[in-house]
């Protein structure tokens, strides 16, 4: 039965890849952005499936086990950036008509700096960063395969590298983005069913929800100074650096909520959008579908998915106290408390989590390598069929390189930390380049170079002390401050982009006029856009809606029904306000 479930899952994904082979093979637009004809619900669900990787339940378990529920603010804080992408940037990305977000460099900037920026980002993001991400996802899947199949780490790595990764590369190369989108939909439904089931069995193993909460309270009382593991926020009565059991240091929380969401580049949560989020926006049928796809992604990502993972992590605290490797708690629950008859389905669910992320990263990375490097700099005049073939070759190349990287990584966290630190401080440029005409190519180049150099220097010198979360917070503040000072100074010390380039960009994407007044005067025939204020109102309402839904659902689950219902009612009120504001915005846009 176990192997039947695994084989059935693999057969469905392969059939989907074969089914969409002809549809994706006509042109690069068909292969990488599905002919720009995707509905919002399909594009949004694909984004959610992509961010639900094989390592995600394990990482959340480790966070909750060490820092309580509040430890999730390391990724909950990115909602602020995600909602900003929805209301301030999604329509601008869709109007740009680009194939990849890296092409933005030569649309917004001019000359050799713009060409260098495009080529560098294509290789830096498409090859280096992409393979790092794929490497740590593979590292997590290796651990999962080893536990579930009862084999050594080396054997598990061989299964991933020589079977799962090539199989994923096969259906991605065949089906292009169409294949990725529809397999993501199937995989998301399967993954959510699995994690809900695992959470159910985990809580049942503790004696039920009430018994689990009582046992957590007893465990807290047994350790003097420990905090409430179920608390959504850190204990603000403690010092900024206090680190009792199950507490997120307040200084780290302040960095997450006040700095990280806008200052850091991170895949899936880029300030201003980008990466595979931008790719899904490009693939949408129109501006409205593009915006709604990212809105649905943020609602599902932050308000729908987290609690099954968190409940399993809380159960792991009760069932397995004093774990040396907290992330292993999730797989211990699976291996010891999920009925044996369901193990095959669980394995299939983890394969879906692994392959959905891997598939998107392969397709997205190949788009950079082919469209922004190979076609732009090496072979600019070939046929569309040629570029589709090279896209499939690039997919195979990424499979080989990422498999090698996965074998070199020491841990999941090592790759994850490097990606975060290397992007610290760059976010301000990515936000302002749409809304301020003065940003130029050197602003982006200096920001990326400074952030990368600073992260290497701080890792080498290691000037900070404390726990891992505290060292991360101090490093983030330092890198962001240095990077921001450098790129702001470079912006004012270098010339603005040529007027024809700025005017062309302004005509195409219609950014809010207030940051583009000198350019708007040169394009007097363009009706000025004044939507920043209404978009910021939508941003605030969207963030409130999702956070209230997230916290309300959590309180309902954790036996605080009245408070939970009140928060959910407030979330619904924010949703109504957001709907009204969006309707007004769409009407104004149509009138223009």
Digit-coded pLDDT (tens) for 458-511: 878 888 877 777 787 888 889 899 999 999 999 999 999 999 999 999 999 999
Given a cut of 80, is residue 255 above it in pLDDT? yes
Given a cut of 80, is residue 139 above it in pLDDT? no
**Domain end marker among 352, 386, 418:** 418
Report the candidate in 268, 390, 279 with the shortest Cα–Cα distance to residue 29. 279
Residue 490 within a domain:
no
Residue 495 within a domain:
no
Given a cut of 70, is residue 242 above it in pLDDT? no
Q: If you search the block for the tokens 């960063």, which residue do you land on?
A: 129
Is the alpha carbon torsion for 514, 516, 517, 521 positive or negative?
negative
Given a cut of 80, is residue 190 above it in pLDDT? yes
Residue 64 within a domain:
yes
Count H helices, E strands: the chain? 30, 0
Partners of 38 in the β-ladder: 284
| 208 or 172, greater pLDDT | 208
**The domain that contains 32 carries what CATH number?**
1.20.1730.10
Banded pLDDT at 93 (limits 50, 70, 90): very high
**Domain end marker among 418, 433, 468:** 418
pLDDT, tens only, 125-137: 888 888 878 877 7
CA atoms within 13 A on the CB side of 481: 7
Residue 89: what pLDDT?
Answer: 95
How much of the chain exceeds pLDDT 90, in percent?
43
Residue 398: what pLDDT?
Answer: 86
Given a cut of 90, is residue 215 above it in pLDDT? yes
- What is the token pair recorded at 453? 């150099």
Residue 161: what pLDDT?
Answer: 78
Residue-averaged pLDDT of the chain: 86
Given a cut of 90, is residue 85 above it in pLDDT? yes
Residue 392 within a domain:
yes
Residue 189 within a domain:
yes
| 358 or 107, greater pLDDT | 107
**Mean pLDDT computed over 41-63:** 88
Residue 492 within a domain:
no
pTM for the whole structure: 0.88
**Mean pLDDT computed over 388-397:** 87
Given a cut of 90, is residue 335 above it in pLDDT? no
Residue 66: what pLDDT?
Answer: 86
**Mean pLDDT computed over 115-119:** 94
Residue 13: what pLDDT?
Answer: 81
Kind plus residue range of the DSSP H or E element containing 175: helix 165-205
Banded pLDDT at 238 (limits 50, 70, 90): low
CB atoms within 10 A of CB 8: 12
Report the domain count for the chain.
2
**Mean pLDDT computed over 67-83:** 92
**Mean pLDDT computed over 388-414:** 76
The lowest-confidence range among 25-34, 282-291, 493-502 is 25-34
- What is the token pair recorded at 293? 């796809």
**Domain end marker among 390, 418, 446:** 418
The lowest-confidence range among 97-101, 266-270, 276-280, 494-498 is 266-270
Report the candidate in 311, 286, 84 with the shortest Cα–Cα distance to residue 204. 311
Residue 524 within a domain:
no
Residue 244: what pLDDT?
Answer: 62
Residue 340: what pLDDT?
Answer: 82
Domain span at 168: 2-418
Given a cut of 70, is residue 56 above it in pLDDT? yes
Residue 161 within a domain:
yes
**Mean pLDDT computed over 329-349:** 85
Residue 589: what pLDDT?
Answer: 60
**Mean pLDDT computed over 191-202:** 93
Given a cut of 70, is residue 411 above it in pLDDT? no
Q: CA 189: distance to chain centroid?
A: 19
How much of the chain exceeds pLDDT 70, in percent?
94
**Mean pLDDT computed over 528-534:** 90
CB atoms within 10 A of CB 590: 7
**Mean pLDDT computed over 190-215:** 93
């Amino acid at each position: 039965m176990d192997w039947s479930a695994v084989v059935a899952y693999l057969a469905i994904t392969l059939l989907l890849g074969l089914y969409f082979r002809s549809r994706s093979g006509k042109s690069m637009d068909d292969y990488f952005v599905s002919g720009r004809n995707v509905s919002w619900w399909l594009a949004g669900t694909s984004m959610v499936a992509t961010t639900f990787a094989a390592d995600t339940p394990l990482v959340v378990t480790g966070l909750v086990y060490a820092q309580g529920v509040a430890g999730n603010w390391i990724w909950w804080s990115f909602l602020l950036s995600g909602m900003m992408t929805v209301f301030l940037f999604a329509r601008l990305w869709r109007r740009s008509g680009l194939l990849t977000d890296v092409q933005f460099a030569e649309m917004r900037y001019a000359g050799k700096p713009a060409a260098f920026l495009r080529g560098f980002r294509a290789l830096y993001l498409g090859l280096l960063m992409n393979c790092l991400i794929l490497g740590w996802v593979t590292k997590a899947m290796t651990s999962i395969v080893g536990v579930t199949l009862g084999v050594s780490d080396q054997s598990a790595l061989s299964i991933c590298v020589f079977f799962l990764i090539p199989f994923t590369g096969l259906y991605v190369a065949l089906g292009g983005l169409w294949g990725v989108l529809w397999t993501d939909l199937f995989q998301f439904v399967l993954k959510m069913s699995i994690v809900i089931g695992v959470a159910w069995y985990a809580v049942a193993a503790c004696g039920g929800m009430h018994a689990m909460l009582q046992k957590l309270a007893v465990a807290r009382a047994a350790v003097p100074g420990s905090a409430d593991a179920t608390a959504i926020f850190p204990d603000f009565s403690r010092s900024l650096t206090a680190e009792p059991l199950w507490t997120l240091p307040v200084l780290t929380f302040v960095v997450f909520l006040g700095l990280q969401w806008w200052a850091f580049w991170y895949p899936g949560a880029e300030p201003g959008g980008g990466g595979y989020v931008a790719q899904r926006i490009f693939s949408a049928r129109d501006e409205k579908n593009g915006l709604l796809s990212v809105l649905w992604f943020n609602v599902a990502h932050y308000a729908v998915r987290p609690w099954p993972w968190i409940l399993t992590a809380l159960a792991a605290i009760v069932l397995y106290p004093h774990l040396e490797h907290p992330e292993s708690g999730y797989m211990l629950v699976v291996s010891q408390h999920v009925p044996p008859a369901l193990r095959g389905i669980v394995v299939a669910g983890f394969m879906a989590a692994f392959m959905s992320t891997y598939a998107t990263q392969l397709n997205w990375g190949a788009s950079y390598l082919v469209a922004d490097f190979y076609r732009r700099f090496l072979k600019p005049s070939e046929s569309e069929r040629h570029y589709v073939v090279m896209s499939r070759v690039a997919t195979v190349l990424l499979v080989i390189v990422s498999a090698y990287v996965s074998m070199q990584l020491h841990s999941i966290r090592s790759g994850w930390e490097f990606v975060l630190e290397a992007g610290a401080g760059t976010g301000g440029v990515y936000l302002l380049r749409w809304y301020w005409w003065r940003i130029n190519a050197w602003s982006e180049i200096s920001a990326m170079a400074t952030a990368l150099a600073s992260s290497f220097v701080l890792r080498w010198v290691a000037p900070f002390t404390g726990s891992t979360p505290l060292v991360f917070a101090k490093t983030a503040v330092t890198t962001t401050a240095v990077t921001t000072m450098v790129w702001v100074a470079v912006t004012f010390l270098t010339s603005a982009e040529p007027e024809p380039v700025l005017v062309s960009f302004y005509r195409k994407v219609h950014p809010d006029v207030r940051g583009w007044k000198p350019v708007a005067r040169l394009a007097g025939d363009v009706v000025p856009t004044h939507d920043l204020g209404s978009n910021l109102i939508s941003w605030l309402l969207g963030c409130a809606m999702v956070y209230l839904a997230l916290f309300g659902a959590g309180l309902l689950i954790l036996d605080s029904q009245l408070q939970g219902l009140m928060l959910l009612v407030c979330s619904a009120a924010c949703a109504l306000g957001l709907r009204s504001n969006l309707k007004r915005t769409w009407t104004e846009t149509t009138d223009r």
